Amino acid sequence: MIIVSACLCGCNCKYNGGNNYNEKIKKIYDEGEAILVCPEEMSGLSTPREPVEIQGGSGVDVLEGRSKVLSANGTDVTDKFIKGANKVLEIAVKNNVKKAILKAKSPSCGARKIYDGTFSGKTVEGNGVTAELLQLNGIEVLSEEDF
Ligand code: SF4
């Protein structure tokens, strides 16, 4: 089984209540090979919610306490993001998952590239919090941009 960001399969769990539907990724789900997750909703955050970005670092910095996940007006959701990431990891371990396909650039799901914390659409190298935690635990993390 593969862990997949739910928004890529059309679930309206994106911060603004929309989704990031991707036909190729949905096909994987339709074939019964995917477990859908949304770490932000699984953390207890509601949808819609304020957009947030990692400030001054990436997922590894958040997990190691050097960076925070904040909205533009300073709401701190760092603890929620760590909680959501751990819930996804728990599901991955339970189901012996070895691979994840996660939404690019997201502060939770982003693989290798995330928004830079300025809310300007610019990106920096680095993983989101969930992507980082999965990778640290030996799970291969890809984004929809790899397909
Ligand atoms: S947390 Fe991940 S699955 Fe949830 S909306 Fe954001 S990118 Fe999609």
Task: Report mean pLDDT in 10-residue bins for the chain, 147 residues.
Answer: 98 98 97 97 98 97 98 97 98 98 98 96 97 98 94
Closest-lying ligand 1 atom to the alpha carbon of residue 14: 5
pLDDT at 103 (0 to 100): 97
Is residue 134 lining ligand 1, measured as CB closer than 6 Å?
no
| Ligand 1 close to Cβ of residue 144 (< 6 A) | no
With a 6 Å cutoff on the Cβ, whether 109 touches ligand 1 is yes
Q: Please tell me the residue having the least CA distance from ligand 1 atom 5.
A: 14
What is the distance between the alpha carbons of residues 79 and 137, in angstroms, rounded to a whole number? 19
Dihedral of the alpha carbons of 5, 7, 8, 10, in degrees to the nearest 10: 140
